[in-house]
């Protein structure tokens, strides 16, 4: 929305945008369920109680194929956003993940799990190619950061719910519950209107006006429609060749590099491996104060606290400060985990030091979900004009897929090579390098409209 329109508003109505934001949150919660699925079920699948035998090598591939599927989903998501719009692309993303849950229900061999995780990864790639674009296009600047934070919080929420279901329900039953909610989610997004930006781009003017009226009920529809049409038409004249040429312009190239590096930092923070193997990590840390599965539940719940903090602080502190705080917290929390394993190696009684592992993991989950996982999708939705968002989304989402796949597939070899005493320290020190990068390179976009951000990037405005 334009700054001129935002300044004229006397009473803003946000609830339609919050409905859309809650829909995105539910979708990413489904992805969080998939991401947290392996932690409670790895030990079961490799035990004698499993209905079909699975080796540790096969488990590594079950975990890693989720991120491999993400790469192909990123390609499909970028194409769909351009041709059918961001909202419809979100609707499409619910199909592969529904199939993923269905294959888990039907699984009687590890091959079913391979296909399930790959399909769910496709949904992950599609979703991360479009949800920030969708929220960026329908949200008022004053709540855009909060809506982005709400959507991203679905990962922690899904991780928590799956940790609870995994502790008390069978693999098939938890998949059935997740499938039901996925189908309800599909119905919600079929009902929600498409982004007015895409409708204007496709010359569906009446539908665009209806969309503006639905998402922004306090706006003068005709005036807002004219402003949006002028904005979209100015940036939609570009052909694919023109768009690719635009990426050579310094400020767009810089934006691509910044968000790509932020995305890599998010994946290299250790969040994937810690989420996938958390219960096993607590077993290795000799946590005995309670069952490791119950400790996982507590840690996952604390991730939701981090997401709530990000929603409160994103539009108050700004993007950069929140990222710095998050990276600092990750480094310190992983250092605590490192100290725990070092003390165990020195012969300390596990009962006297197990609090370090629990405290470190709780701190890690709070801080990782309060900034590092949130900033890349937020910046993707803010730094690029509409005609570049599809290309940028593909580049950034596919980078995330490749980096996360490499991170997960190398976890077991690195664990065998470095041991827990040094592996988590490696992740923490790596994340610490994001602090100077953020302070020096990342622009602050707090409270700015999408047009104002583009004006600032292109040098048309000092604001």
The domains found in the chain, sorted by start residue, are: 13-192 (1.20.1250.20), 242-462 (1.20.1250.20)
Predicted confidence (pLDDT) at residue 389 exceeds the cutoff of 60: yes
Pick the range with the lowest mean pLDDT from 64-73, 158-167, 293-302, 303-312. 303-312
Give the contacts of 92 (CB within 8 A, at least 6 positions apart). Answer: 80, 84, 126
Instruction: Please say whether the beta carbons of 59 and 46 come within 8 A.
Output: yes
Return d(Cα 274, Cα 265) in angstroms, integer: 15
Instruction: Please say whether the beta carbons of 380 and 244 come within 8 A.
Output: no
| 397-419 pLDDT, tens digit each | 888 888 988 888 888 888 888 88
**Residue 460 pLDDT class (50, 70, 90 cuts):** low
CB atoms within 10 A of CB 4: 11
**Residue 83 pLDDT class (50, 70, 90 cuts):** confident
Predicted confidence (pLDDT) at residue 118 exceeds the cutoff of 70: yes
| 192-214 pLDDT, tens digit each | 999 888 888 888 888 988 988 88
Tell me the pTM: 0.79
pLDDT, position 72: 92
With b for 16 or more beta-carbon neighbours within 10 A and e for fewer, the 81-119 pattern comes to bbebbbbbbbbbbbebbbbbbbbbbebeebebbbbbbbb
| 33-43 pLDDT, tens digit each | 998 898 888 88
Helix axes 171-191, 86-106, angle to 10 degrees: 160
Return d(Cα 300, Cα 240) in angstroms, integer: 42
**Residue 303 pLDDT class (50, 70, 90 cuts):** confident
If we measure between CA atoms, which residue out of 163, 148, 224 comes closest to residue 34?
Answer: 163
pLDDT, position 449: 67
Mean pLDDT of 296-301: 91
Return d(Cα 74, Cα 83) in angstroms, integer: 15
Return d(Cα 362, Cα 350) in angstroms, integer: 18
Return d(Cα 320, Cα 63) in angstroms, integer: 32
Mean pLDDT of 16-41: 91
Task: Report how many helices (DSSP H) and strands (DSSP E) the chain contains, helices first.
Answer: 22, 0
233 half-sphere exposure, CB direction, 13 A CA radius? 9
**Residue 9 pLDDT class (50, 70, 90 cuts):** very low
Alpha-carbon separation of residue 452 from 7, 177, 220 (angstroms) = 13, 43, 20
What residue has token string 């600032």? Answer: 456
Predicted confidence (pLDDT) at residue 95 exceeds the cutoff of 80: yes
Return d(Cα 112, Cα 100) in angstroms, integer: 9
Predicted confidence (pLDDT) at residue 1 exceeds the cutoff of 60: no
**Residue 384 pLDDT class (50, 70, 90 cuts):** confident
Mean pLDDT of 6-27: 79
| 234-282 pLDDT, tens digit each | 666 666 666 667 667 767 788 888 888 998 999 888 888 888 888 889 9
For 171-208, the DSSP string reads: HHHHHHHHHHHHHHHHHHHHHSPPPHHHHHHTT-HHHH
If we measure between CA atoms, which residue out of 31, 34, 163, 161 comes closest to residue 104?
Answer: 34
Predicted confidence (pLDDT) at residue 462 exceeds the cutoff of 50: no
Alpha-carbon separation of residue 58 from 2, 172, 280 (angstroms) = 52, 19, 16
Mean pLDDT of 164-180: 93
| 132-163 pLDDT, tens digit each | 889 888 888 778 778 887 888 888 899 899 99
Phi, psi of 108 (to 5 degrees): -135, 10
Handedness of CA 112, 280, 127, 261 (dihedral sign): negative
What residue has token string 């507590």? Answer: 298
Return d(Cα 417, Cα 262) in angstroms, integer: 27
Q: What is the mean pLDDT of the chain?
A: 85
pLDDT, position 240: 60
């Amino acid at each position: 929305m334009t700054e001129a329109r935002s300044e004229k508003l006397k009473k803003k109505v946000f609830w339609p945008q919050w409905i859309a934001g809650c829909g995105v949150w539910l979708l990413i919660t489904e992805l969080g369920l998939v991401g947290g699925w392996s932690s409670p079920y790895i030990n079961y699948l490799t035990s004698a109680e499993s209905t079909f035998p699975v080796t540790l090598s096969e488990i590594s591939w079950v975990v890693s194929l989720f991120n491999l599927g993400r790469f192909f989903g990123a390609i499909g998501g970028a194409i769909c956003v351009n041709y059918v719009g961001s909202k419809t692309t979100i609707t499409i993303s619910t199909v592969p993940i529904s199939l993923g849950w269905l294959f888990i229900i039907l699984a009687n061999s590890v091959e079913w799990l391979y296909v399930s995780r790959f399909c769910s990864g496709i949904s992950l790639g599609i979703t991360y190619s479009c949800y920030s674009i969708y929220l960026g296009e329908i949200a008022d600047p004053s709540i855009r950061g909060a809506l982005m934070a709400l959507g991203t919080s679905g990962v922690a929420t899904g991780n928590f719910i799956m940790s609870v279901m995994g502790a008390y329900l069978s693999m098939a039953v938890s998949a059935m519950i997740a499938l039901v909610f996925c189908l309800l989610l599909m119905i919600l997004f079929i009902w929600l209107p498409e982004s007015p930006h895409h409708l204007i781009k496709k010359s569906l003017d009446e539908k665009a006006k209806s969309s503006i009226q639905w998402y922004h009920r306090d706006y003068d529809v005709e005036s807002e429609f004219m402003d949006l049409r002028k904005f979209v038409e100015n940036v939609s004249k570009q052909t694919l060749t023109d768009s690719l040429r635009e990426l050579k312009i310094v400020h767009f190239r810089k934006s691509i590099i910044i968000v790509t590096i932020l995305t890599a930092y998010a994946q290299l923070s250790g969040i994937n491996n810690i989420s996938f193997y958390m219960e096993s990590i607590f077993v290795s840390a000799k946590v005995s104060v309670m069952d490791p599965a119950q400790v996982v539940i507590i840690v996952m719940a604390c991730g939701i606290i981090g997401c709530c903090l990000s929603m409160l602080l994103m539009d108050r502190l700004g993007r950069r400060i929140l990222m710095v705080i998050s990276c600092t917290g990750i480094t310190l929390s992983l250092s605590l985990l490192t100290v725990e394993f070092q003390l165990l190696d020195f012969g300390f009684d596990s009962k006297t030091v197990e609090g370090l592992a629990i405290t470190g993991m709780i701190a890690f989950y709070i801080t990782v979900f309060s900034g590092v996982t949130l900033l890349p999708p937020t910046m993707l939705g803010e730094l690029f004009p509409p005609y570049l968002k599809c290309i940028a989304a593909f580049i950034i989402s596919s980078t995330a897929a490749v980096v996360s796949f490499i991170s997960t597939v190398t976890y077991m070899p690195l664990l065998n090579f470095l041991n827990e005493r040094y592996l988590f320290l490696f992740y923490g020190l790596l994340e610490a390098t994001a602090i100077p990068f953020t302070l020096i390179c990342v622009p602050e976009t707090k409270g700015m409209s999408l047009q104002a951000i583009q004006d600032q990037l292109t040098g048309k405005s000092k604001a």
